[in-house]
Amino acid sequence: MTVAPGTGDIRTKESFGDIQLHIEWRAPEVTDPSKVSQGRGNSGVFLQERYEVQVLDNYQNKTYINGQAGSIYKQHIPLANACKKPGEWQTYDIIYTAPRFGTDGRVVVPAYVTVIHNGVLLLNHVALLGATEYIGFPLYKEHGDAPLRLQDHGNLVSYRNIWVRKL
């Protein structure tokens, strides 16, 4: 399936908490040389609709360090750039532990994520600071299980062979 610009995000019908996720994605081949940085193959895999693992064509395409493919957007910088050429299928294997909240609604245990991109470890059990924010500091707000979401960020990005296992 393809997240086509302007069609909106794609969400699962089922909600999830702790998961193991395998997802394959592909950014289109570059036909417009003016498309650079965040303008190439930009999308995201949102865990519990709040925490974004960045999808981006970073093959010979520089961008800001906490916005690279495999980053937890604006929070954690990936340990490597494992991107293949545009037009080639790429894999993310993600292990995610949802945050735990106390009776007062405050986070007791943060969310944790491990991201493996094309077989390369990018993030190893890193603690999330809160929900993904474009501007501002990430904060936690109490929530339960929620759908997975594939972001429509105005770029064509295709997905296939998606499987999720509850942990």
Q: Quick one: tokens of 41?
A: 């193959």
Q: What is the mean pLDDT of residues 36-52?
A: 87
pTM for the complete prediction?
A: 0.93
Q: Which residues pair with 113 in a beta bridge?
A: 96, 126
Q: What is the mean pLDDT of residues 6-20?
A: 95
Give residue 13's pLDDT.
Answer: 97
Radius of gyration (C-alpha) of the chain in whole angstroms: 15
In this predicted model, what pLDDT tens digit does every residue of 95-151 receive, in sequence order?
Answer: 999 999 999 999 999 999 999 999 999 999 999 999 999 889 999 999 999 999 999
Identify the structural domains of the chain with CATH numbers, from first to last: 2-166 (2.60.120.560)
Please give the Cα distance from 147 to 9 (Å, whole number): 11
Give residue 125's pLDDT.
Answer: 98
Assign 40 a pLDDT band (cuts: 50, 70, 90).
confident
- Asked if the model's pLDDT at residue 31 lies above 70, the reply is no
In this predicted model, what pLDDT tens digit does every residue of 54-109 receive, in sequence order?
Answer: 999 998 888 878 889 999 999 999 999 999 999 999 999 999 999 999 999 999 99
Give residue 100's pLDDT.
Answer: 98
End-to-end CA distance of the chain: 26
Contact 109, 100 (CB under 8 A): yes
Contact 91, 118 (CB under 8 A): yes
The b/e string for 93-121 (b: 16+ C-beta within 10 A; e otherwise) is: ebbbbbbebeeeeebeeebbbbbbbbeee
